[in-house]
Each structure stands twice: as C-alpha cells, then as structure tokens.
Chain A
C-alpha cells in the first residue's frame, strides 16, 4: 500500500501543471454550457474573440487605407459594409477595431479584479479596525468618477509627455475605478467564509495569516470573482468605447469603435453603417458577455449581486 502510493503520488504532482489548467478549462466550459443563457453568451463572445484574433489576416483592405474615389459607398461586393468619408473600408475597420477595445477592456478588468480581490480578501479576513480603514479608503476611491478621471489623466499625460500610449493609461484607470466595487463584493464573500470551521481550524493549527487568506479562503471566493470579472468586463468595454467616442484612446488613424461612432455620426444620412456597424458590434459583445456572466452564475447557483 505504502510503496504503491509513494510511487504514484509524485507522478500525479508532476502532471499537475498542464493537466490542472486543462481540467480547469474543461470545467469552465461544462459549467457555461449547462444553461442556454451561457451557451448563447459563449457563442456571441466566441465569435467576437475569434474575429478579433484572426482579423488582420481576413480584412479585405488595410483598415487605414484611403479610397478617395469610393467615398460614402453603400455596401457593395467590394466594400461589404460600405466606406466612410475618406473611403476607408468599414468592415475592415470594425474588424481591426475589435482588437484594441477587447485588449484594453480585458487587461483593465483583470487589473481591477486582481487588485480588488486582494483588497477584499484582506479587508474581509482581517476585519476590525483594518477593515474599517481599508473600506473608508475604498469608499473614497468609489467617489471618483472614472470618465472624468480618465479625461483628466489623459490630458495631463499628453501635455506633459509627447508620445504616450493612451491605452495603458486607460487600462490603469479601468483598474483603479473597478477596484472599489470589486473589493466590496469580494469582501462580503470573504465574510461569509471567514467564520466557517475550516478557517478556524487553520487558525488553530497556527497557519500564517497570509496562508489562510490565500490558500484556504481565496479558493472559496473564486467563483464570485469569476462572475464579478465577467460583469465588470462589459462595463470596461463601455468605458473604453465611451472614451473613444470622446476622442480619447487609440491614436487616429488606427480604428476604434467609439471614435468611429462619433466621427461618422455626422454622415449618418449618407453612410449610416459607418457609425452603426461599430455600435452594433459593441452592443452585441456587451450583451454576449452579460449572458455569459448570467450563465456562469445560474450554473453555480450563486445569488445575483445587487451591486452593479
């Protein structure tokens, strides 16, 4: 018995690297595919992600190429969704625009959720005075309007430094503005786990506080983190698009959905698809992500978070 086990066990632990990730991926998909909501959401988001990834290879034209003779074209077999005032192919621009917005929103969300989770678990687990102080600071962050902060920081940064990548500033701002809400949700999930007996027995074993927080408590709040991250992602997309609409974000002439909607709004009567197409792309992605989040939540029987 003992010899058999000592030979089997190390193998099992070396195989964990790839196998564990693979198991997690399989588990995620079976979870999402359990409900209709999740299936539709996954399909919509999947199409978006795949198109964004292979976009550069399937765009019929370079997205920044001018076709002066073909201004304001209606959808034709050459230009599938028509062209804008400079004769640029709208289909190519929508495809290319997906990349930047998905990258910025995802990176910002991951930043905010990671930060928020650390703050939430710490504050919830430690409790008492520490919790009071952390939560008041979080409240203070909550009072900052993210859009105004973004405008302020981007303007200051572009004045101070000539060449600055605005997308990293936006990622940072999404991270900062999502941290407070996220940490509150994670904190309340932690508060539900903290009094449970297995946490108490870890304390009685004399485990270090950090070990208890991140080895014992964190795995139990991860389902909440997952749903929270998915919901936040759609907000991040809307914020990024909103900044693009106001002219902040990806530098022209690179395509950006928000900017395309705003700059083509004046030619809505001649080339309606020039602003509608990126708008529809945006809306379908946000709806898809929300469906996905609902699907995960339904499959896990988690209650709806009132904090939206």
Chain B
C-alpha cells in the first residue's frame, strides 16, 4: 500500500470536491465545489466565515467524513484517492503521513494521561521503534516545538500546562512521524492573542524546518496573512478565490474577498485617517438550499448583474485580467467581473465621522477603587474553621470614568478581570469595595438593590448571542419585557415599539414571534441589542459582544453600535480581547492585567509610545491582515497568573519583558502621568521618558531590520 503512493504526484490534490450530509433534519451541502492543491513545503491558508465548509474540506483530506456524508470528486494524497481507501488503509495514513492539529488543545489531549506517553503512543503505533527510542524522540519533539524543559515536560498532565504549551504538545504529536501533510484546523482560535502570536511564530518557523505541506484553516485574515503562502477563500461551500497571499490581500479579484478585507478594522493608514468599516449585507447562502445556475454570492454582491443569477461563474485565471500579477499565473476567481473588483467596491474608504462630545455634562459612570475578590468565604468545615484558600484577586482598585457619548474599551487576556469588571459594573457580581457612581448617584453593588431608573439607564449585551435569548420563549419576549419594565407602556404599545426597535437594528419585525433557534447568530445578537436599547439607556456594557460573530456580521454590529451612539449620545463600556476592534471603536482604553489597571487613557495615547510594557506586548501580538506587516518581536509566554491574598509588587512582573529588577516583585508600581498629561496613566516602575526612548528605539530597530 505504501508503494502505491507515487512520489512525483502532487502532495494533496482536491478536485471538484462536493460533500453532502443527509440527516433527518434535511440535506446539507457543506461543500459544493472545491479544488485545491498543496505542495510540499508550502502553507495553504483556507479562509471563510463559519458554515462555509472549510472544516469539511480539512476533514475530507483526512478521510474523516461520517457515513452520512456523500462525497463526490477526488481527494488525492500523493496520487492515491483517499475516498476509495479502506478504514485500515486510512489508519495507516492518519497520524503518520497526514496529521491534524485541532482548534481546542484541551479536548485534543487525554486529560488522564501524562503528555509524554501520549506522544510516545503515536510513535509506537506508526514507527517500528522500542519504548526507549520513543521516549528520546518525544523529548526531541518537545524541544523542536519550543517547549521549555523538554526532558521533564512529558511527565506533566495536560491540566498542568498552559493553553499555549498544550497546543505545542498537540503540534509535537502531529509532527511525531514526520508527516507529509499537516492539517491545522483553527489551531490558534481558542488561544489568547499573546499565545496565538507565539504559536504562529512556531508555525512560520516549522514551515522552513519540516518538509511538509500545511493546510491552515482559519476565519481570521490577520492570522492567515502571517503564515500562509497561498490562500483559498471559501464561500457557501465553494472556493471563490485562490491566490498567493500578497496578491490576494493587495489585489482581491472576487467581491467577497474584497468585502472580507474591508470588514476587518485596520490600523489607520499612512495618512493617519481612520476608515469607516464597510459591511457585507445579508447572510451566508443557506447550506440546505439546492444550487441553481447562479452565483451564490449574487444576493449580497454590489457587482451583481442579470447574468449572475442565470449562470454559475467558472473559476477563471485572472492574473492577466486587468491586474498586474506577480507572474505566478495562479490567481483564480469565481466571478464574471474580476476586473471590476477594487478596494472601493464596498463603499469609498470614508474617514470616520468624528463624534461630537458633550464633555460638559460630566461622566456618566465614575468608578473608584473597584475591588472584587473571589472564593474567600470557603471555610474548612463549611461554615466554621480557617479559610480553605486565600481569595482570588479578580479586580483590584480599578478607577475609570466613562464620559457621556464616549466609548471606553477594556482589554486584556483571558483571566485579566475584564468580564468581572463588566459584571461588577452592571451588578451581577456585587463589588467588594469601591464606589460606582452613575450620573453622580451612588450605585448599590447588587442589581437587585438598584432603582428601576438605574437599571434602565445601564444595560448589558453578552458575548454568546445564542444564550442571550431564552430558547423556549419567542424572540420578542426580552424586548417587550424590557419595554414594559422601563418605558412603562402597555402590552399593545410595547409590541409596536418592539417592532420599531427591530427595524432600527435592521431586522424584520415579523421575527418577534419566531423562535430564537430560527435566527442566525448575528440576528440573535441584533435582537439582544434591540432589547438593550429598548429604554434608551445612557450606558451599554458590551462584554465581548462581537467576538462570537463572523467578520462581516461583526462589522454590521459595530456600525450599528456606532450609529446608535451618534443618534442618542449613549456611552459604551466595550470589553474585548480584540485590539483591532478596540482601536476602531474606543475613545478611551483601559488595559487590565490580573485585575490591576496597567494603563488607562485616551485611545491615541494608549496605542502609541510610550505605553505600558503589557500594552506594548498586546499590540505586538495582535495579528494584522497585511502580509507585508513587519513581524513584531515582543512575545509573552505563559498565561495571566491567579493572584491570591496579600500580593505586593507589580502584577505583570512575572512575564514582563522589560522588568528592571527586584523592585518590580516587591513594590507596587507608581501611577505615572503620560507625556501629554491628558488623563493618561501608566502603572509602571520605569520612568515615562525611559519607556518612550526604549520603545522608540525598538520600533526603529525593527524598521531597519524589516
């Protein structure tokens, strides 16, 4: 069987692949038409929104599709069609010649086994070696994926490793048998930006070191730009565009690709003008719908003509078609008018409308010394005895002001306390200490004890749109209840107002009577927004409100939030881990680390030098959707520590790349005013002027190196 694999054939060749799932709930055309080739030594990025079939293509390459799937077309691995192989032949390939890295390292590793034996298991299964040799090899593998202390890390259990280390172990396992093809399905999606950056560095480095073809599946254009050589864009089960990475990002020749690129918040260009986000209207073509002779993207496309709805466009080479190509001749696009695709296709790159701030009205929300500790109450004998553990310091003395009509972005890695801050502000988690003032009026810690007016003035939008609506009650329930509670209107009037609200967030009012499960994630999040906007709140706390959404929908929701703010002058506390989004939407930024404020100030001041070393590291780690972006060098290993009890010193000292000495471990950092003095604060031991010169020197060095 091994002999059958032809060495001269392309490594992986997917030809006219179509995958259809038959289930009692209907027929799902997950992949309609995908052709893709991967050669040894190259990284092919596969990008698209959720439900477009990119994971199904990845699974088809492993021969992992369930029996309910009907596969048409060919998936040839080194010349052998995988779809025709038997189970035992496939087992021979998987883990050995083809290896896969999954999204979530926690579920990829067996929690009850030490990680070393898990890697050795793969080696013993596929290679003809004894257990001593397997052990030596596993240590080599751990070293090659950059795990510190490779000799001993194999004796740990998965839960004793950080998320980044776990993913490195999974990658080591995938590399165990020197696979020819490595499939990575969203390998960094579940990780923090800082960890993501280190894993991406590893993948870029591996690309040069191992002679394997890599398929890199991701929804994140920034990540794809960083690692891929060639990119295929999927939409509704079809590959709509395929090109070398630079070509794709600079000269997209399919309207969908151009749309995706203009949906991602970008750093301001050279002219320093911030661009308004454009968004792709409508939703992804339904996988259950049978395809007619038409372009699947036509309903959402600004270029759509008569012919787009009567013929399906073929995949054509556009490298000579109006676009000056790099000469590779492999820029394919599934569009009739590839020449008409320009960067202004989705609306002119408008400079953002400046907000008019009403500064004189004073802050909407004023927070001083906000503190929340968890888990201090547990005693040895339930109600009596000494405390079991010292309380976890989730939030320590956080100060911030939310000006009226302004947006404050709260950023940090997971575990930095940003969600706790949101929950303490709205009163879901009563604060331990500190003061919360809404319009100068003291707020109770628990939402239950606040007045109706206070509750109606401050609303919240959550991360998970599906769980934000009660699945057993009609969509309109939350909106109508909010209206009746806060606006004090009767049943009939509230229905009418609810319909107006639905229209305001761009939804059909008939959705009110539907079941939440019939709506897409983006639509559900709009309903959640409508319910939050119901009583014209002064402040909306958005906890990762766009993180679970696809980029095109994310842009729609961000624009909706901004429009609403421009119309009503409300304020936002916008919590997110995505620096691109924060940069786009925020007027002020609060950077949290392990419950402590690292930096706080107006956006421009926080994002530019000098900044706190943690802000600097976060910015450095954020992926930029530009293949020409110079790789930054500051990387943080590990994860946010859990600080307990009477901690002194700087919370960031343990991971700080700019740590100056013992003072960082023993003394809390002083609060320093930024150079402009405009309410910009940095909590660091390094003097501001020194920070500034250090960081300027670094970016200068990078510019020269790049």
Chain A residues in contact with chain B, CB under 8 A? 1-2, 5-6, 9, 34, 132, 196-198, 200-207, 215-216, 219-220, 222
Contact = CB atoms under 8 A, between A and B. Distances in A.
A219 B469 CA distance: 13
21 contacts: A9-B495, A196-B467, A197-B464, A200-B462, A203-B428, A204-B426, A204-B427, A204-B455, A204-B459, A204-B460, A205-B478, A205-B481, A205-B482, A206-B448, A206-B450, A206-B452, A215-B473, A216-B470, A216-B473, A219-B470, A220-B470
Contact of A220 (B472, B486, B496, B509): B472
B479 to A, nearest CB: 11
Nearest to A8: B513
A9 B494 CA distance: 13
A191 to B, nearest CB: 15
A149 B471 CA distance: 41
A24 B41 CA distance: 59
A201 B462 contact: yes
B468 A197 contact: yes
A250 B452 CA distance: 57
Contacts of A198: 467-470, 478
Nearest to B451: A206
B472 A219 contact: yes
A1 B498 CA distance: 13
B531 interface: yes
Contact of B499 (A1, A197, A201, A207): A1
Interface residues of B, number: 34
Given A1-B509, A5-B499, A219-B473, A204 B428 contact: yes
Nearest to A206: B455
Interface of B: 24, 382, 426-428, 447-448, 450, 452, 455, 459-460, 462-464, 467-473, 478, 481-482, 485-486, 492, 495-496, 499, 509, 528, 531
Given A1-B499, A201-B468, A216-B470, 6 more contacts: A5-B495, A198-B470, A200-B428, A205-B455, A206-B455, A219-B473
A136 to B, nearest CB: 10
A6 B492 contact: yes
Contacts of B463: 197
* Residue among A2, A206, A220 with the highest chain B CB neighbour number at 10 A: A206
B517 to A, nearest CB: 13
B495 A203 contact: no
B472 A201 contact: no
Contact of B478 (A6, A196, A201, A219): A201
Contacts of A219: 470, 472-473
A220 B485 contact: no
B495 to A, nearest CB: 7
Contacts of B499: 1-2, 5
A2 B467 contact: no
A204 B468 contact: no
Contacts of B467: 196-198
Contacts of B450: 206
A222 B471 CA distance: 12
* Residue among B448, B468, B470 with the highest chain A CB neighbour number at 10 A: B470
A206 B458 CA distance: 12
A34 B481 CA distance: 36
Nearest to B496: A2
A34 B450 CA distance: 48
A121 B271 CA distance: 59
A222 B531 CA distance: 26
A205 B470 CA distance: 14
A124 to B, nearest CB: 17
A200 B460 CA distance: 9
A215 B471 CA distance: 12
B419 to A, nearest CB: 12
A203 B509 contact: no
Contacts of B460: 200-201, 204
A118 to B, nearest CB: 18
List the 7 shortest-distance A-B pairs measured between CB atoms, nearest first: A219-B472, A197-B462, A197-B467, A198-B470, A197-B468, A196-B467, A206-B455
A103 B486 CA distance: 48
Contacts of B24: 34
A238 to B, nearest CB: 33
A1 B482 CA distance: 22
Nearest to A218: B472
A256 B52 CA distance: 63
Contacts of B509: 1, 5
A9 B513 CA distance: 10
Contacts of A206: 447-448, 450, 452, 455, 485
Nearest to B452: A206
Nearest to A196: B467
A207 B531 CA distance: 14
A192 to B, nearest CB: 11
Contacts of B459: 204
Nearest to B454: A206
A220 B426 contact: no
Contact of A201 (B486, B492, B531): B531
Contacts of B471: 220
